[in-house]
Amino acid sequence: MPNPELQNGALITRDAHVALAELKILVDWAAEKLRTAERETVGVAIGHAHDENPLRTLQDAADALQSPKFEAAVSLAKEKMQSALNWHLGLQRA
């Protein structure tokens, strides 16, 4: 017979995982932009890329990490992680 309390804990933990995965998507996007800026900078430095703008690409990455969306994703991931931790701690104390 399924235990509703354990099912609730599984959902709480899954919510934490989803929130962290959404944050990771934003971080991965910024990291990819940074890698692109790095390649563009090398291209400019060796004289092969005159039409690329590494500063713009780097600014896009920086803007992503300073955006309200990123801040909200960090806050949500922290909140969901703490909820999961609290649930599991309560289970251990019982």
**How high is the pLDDT of residue 5?**
86
In Å, how far from its chain's centre is CA 46?
33
Q: What value does the mean pLDDT of the chain take? A: 91
Give the confidence band of 67 by pLDDT, cuts at 50, 70, 90: very high
Average pLDDT over residues 86-93: 82
Mean pLDDT across 66-94 = 91
Q: Write the CA distances from 64 to 1, 39, 44, 89, 90, integer angstroms.
A: 46, 19, 24, 34, 36
Q: What is the pTM of this model?
A: 0.83
Residue 94 above 60 pLDDT?
no
In what helix (H) or strand (E) does residue 1 lie, and over which residues does it extend? Answer: none
CA distances from 27 to 2, 6, 73, 93 (A): 37, 32, 10, 35
Tokens 């955006």 -> residue: 67
User: Hey, where are the domains in the chain?
Assistant: 10-93
